[in-house]
Homo-oligomer: A and B are copies of this chain.
């Protein structure tokens, strides 16, 4: 027996969950939405929609983009997004440990 869980931030609607966190992290790393989606194995369309939703709820722009140029364009995270991603990573790590510890405590014999 194991434990599974999902955790996400909301404000009326979803702001950020594990999927959004990973997407933002990969955009930061790759400098491109397209390349991030390739690494996550989701469609560009899907990623684009999620980013719009996140920004709509967070109320601040999270991803800055530009089109054209020899590289075709690119994307990067705003300072606010970088801060959010950083906090989420730390938060998520704590939650992960807490849940697994409690699970061991109560269900290790099952």
Contact = CB atoms under 8 A, between A and B. Distances in A.
B95 A107 contact: no
Contact of A9 (B6, B87, B105, B107): B107
Nearest to A94: B102
A11 B99 CA distance: 17
Interface string A9-30: 1110001000000000000000
Given A95-B102, A99-B95, A102-B94, A1 B5 contact: no
A103 interface: yes
A6 B102 CA distance: 15
Interface of A: 1-11, 15, 87-88, 90-91, 94-95, 98-99, 102-103, 105-107
Contact of A3 (B2, B3, B8, B102): B8
A53 to B, nearest CB: 15
A107 B4 CA distance: 23
Contacts of A90: 106
A4 B15 contact: no
Nearest to A7: B5
